[in-house]
């Protein structure tokens, strides 16, 4: 029997950030990830409870699971499926891509659960914003068709974690439900972005009829900036002047001018530097781009195109740079200080850079998922 009001399965669980976001009102009865580093982080932070009948975390390929591995009937299935093939930075292979096709391994299980009368009442599919436009919207329509075929109505929100944390991290959240959506959960939202509206407009009419415009208010204004999450200067290793100069040399004139303007100020300024490939005079050039708006760029895994971000501090006319630490990356994802990161920095950044922002999940739970499921339970009790 569930210890909490709501139960959920966490697919492609990574380090368990969706679980952290959903919080104490939710009981995770099953979790899965194939990545050994993420699996170790998950187990370190969510150890098996003494006396539990079975191990709830399953490490391995989602294609090797079957419905017998999934206990009971969950209120929610959360799936942060591999995003590389949807990413604007990738080759845009779409749902046919090798990594994103892991989605179909997950969906095969949902179909099997439905055949057994155990389909989750709600589903959240989290991915990069490129999901909305991949293959001219055909991938998003294919996702909608899969949901509709199993009795789900659905809608999407495009949410940038920068509204909650000092990190620019736009993601799309597709929320499907087999339960009727209460009227007070339907309406307008600042997260019905132009891309979401365009994706809806491109759906075939039979899928547009299943669409839900989820009502979701904007969160309270964020009161924390990047500087507030950083380690003390004396606790971190700074680049040599020569290495800092190499970073400055990578900057285009616009960003050098931005840095120079900051240098004229008397106060301390903290910024984030990240690498980008830019097309200049018909050729690709690696550039370092800096921002001083109190927000970091989107965290990536260490092998990603932007790799590890750099912190730049300008103070008293001096420019210093250093790498973002693993703990700082964890804070930018909303992870608590007590979250156990892998000891190796590369492994820790792999876990944090490939996760979902914890406060965004918490907000979705409070704004939509919990009211939706509570209303369904109330209707069933009448």
The last residue of one of the domains, among 324, 341, 371, is: 324
- Is residue 84 scored above 60 in pLDDT? no
User: Residues of the chain with pLDDT > 90: what percent?
Assistant: 75
d(CA 193, CA 33): 31
Q: 345: which residues sit within 8 A by CB, 6+ positions away?
A: 325, 326
Structure token digits, residue 332: 């930018």
Give the model confidence (pLDDT) of 244-257 as tens digits: 999 999 998 999 99
Q: Both 69 and 158 in a single domain?
A: yes
∠ Cα 69 63 26 (to 5°): 45
Average pLDDT over residues 260-269: 85
pLDDT in the model for residue 88: 39
∠ Cα 134 139 141 (to 5°): 125
pLDDT in the model for residue 91: 47
- Is residue 236 scored above 90 in pLDDT? yes
pLDDT in the model for residue 348: 95
d(CA 11, CA 73): 15
- Is residue 1 scored above 50 in pLDDT? no
Place of tokens 């009790």: 381
Q: Both 207 and 248 in a single domain?
A: no
Greater pLDDT, 101 or 60: 60
Place of tokens 């959960």: 185
Q: What is the DSSP letter of 279?
A: E
- Is residue 298 scored above 60 in pLDDT? yes
Question: Do the domain assignments include residue 95?
Answer: yes
The CATH number that applies at residue 34 is 3.40.50.150
Question: Do the domain assignments include residue 340?
Answer: no
Question: Do the domain assignments include residue 136?
Answer: yes
Mean pLDDT of the chain: 90
List the beta bridge partners of residue 171.
Answer: 128, 159
Q: Both 319 and 174 in a single domain?
A: no
Yes or no: say if 363 and 219 are a contact pair by the CB < 8 Å rule: yes
Instruction: Indicate the helix (H) or strand (E) that contains 294.
Output: none
pLDDT in the model for residue 295: 97
d(CA 203, CA 198): 9
- The residue segments making up the domain with residue 40 are 6-219+355-381
Q: Both 189 and 260 in a single domain?
A: no
Q: How many domains does the chain have?
A: 2
Written as one string, the DSSP assignment of 151-169 is T-EEEEEEEEGGGTSSB--
Q: Both 193 and 260 in a single domain?
A: no
Mean pLDDT lowest among 132-146, 160-174, 212-226: 132-146
Structure token digits, residue 128: 């990069």
Question: Do the domain assignments include residue 329?
Answer: no
Give the model confidence (pLDDT) of 302-317 as tens digits: 764 456 899 999 998 8
Q: Both 15 and 158 in a single domain?
A: yes
């Amino acid at each position: 029997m569930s210890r909490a009001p709501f139960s959920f399965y966490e697919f492609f669980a990574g380090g368990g950030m969706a679980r952290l976001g959903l919080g104490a009102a939710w009981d995770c009865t099953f979790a899965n990830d194939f990545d050994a580093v993420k699996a170790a982080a998950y187990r370190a932070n969510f150890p098996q409870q003494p006396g539990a009948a079975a191990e709830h975390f399953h490490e391995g390929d989602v294609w090797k699971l079957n419905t017998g591995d999934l206990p009971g009937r969950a209120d929610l299935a959360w799936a942060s499926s591999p995003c590389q093939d949807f990413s604007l930075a990738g080759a845009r292979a779409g749902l046919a891509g090798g990594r994103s096709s892991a989605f179909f391994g997950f969906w095969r299980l949902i179909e099997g659960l439905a055949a057994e009368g155990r389909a989750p009442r709600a589903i959240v599919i989290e991915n990069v914003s490129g999901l909305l436009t991949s293959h001219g919207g055909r991938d998003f329509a294919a996702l909608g068709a899969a949901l509709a075929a199993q009795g789900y109505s659905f809608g999407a929100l495009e949410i940038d974690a920068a509204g909650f944390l000092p990190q620019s991290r736009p993601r799309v959240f597709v929320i499907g439900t087999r339960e009727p959506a209460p009227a007070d959960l339907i309406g307008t939202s600042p997260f019905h972005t132009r891309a979401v509206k365009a994706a809806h407009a491109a759906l075939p009419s039979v899928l547009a009829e299943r669409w839900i415009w989820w009502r979701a208010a904007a969160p309270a204004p964020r009161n924390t900036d990047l500087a507030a999450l950083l380690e003390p200067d004396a606790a971190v290793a700074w680049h040599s002047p020569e290495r800092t100069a190499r970073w400055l040399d990578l900057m285009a004139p616009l960003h050098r001018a931005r840095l120079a303007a900051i240098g004229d100020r008397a106060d301390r300024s903290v910024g984030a530097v990240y690498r980008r490939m830019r097309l200049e005079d018909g050729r690709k050039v690696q550039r370092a781009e800096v921002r001083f708006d109190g927000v970091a760029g989107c965290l990536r895994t260490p092998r990603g195109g932007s790799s590890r971000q750099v912190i730049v501090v300008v103070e008293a006319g001096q420019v210093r740079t250093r790498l973002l630490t693993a703990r700082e990356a964890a804070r930018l994802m909303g992870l608590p200080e007590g979250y156990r990161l892998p000891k190796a920095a590369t492994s820790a950044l792999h876990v944090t850079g490939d996760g979902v922002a914890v406060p965004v999940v918490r907000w979705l739970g409070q704004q939509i998922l919990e009211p939706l499921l509570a209303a369904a339970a109330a209707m069933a009790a009448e």
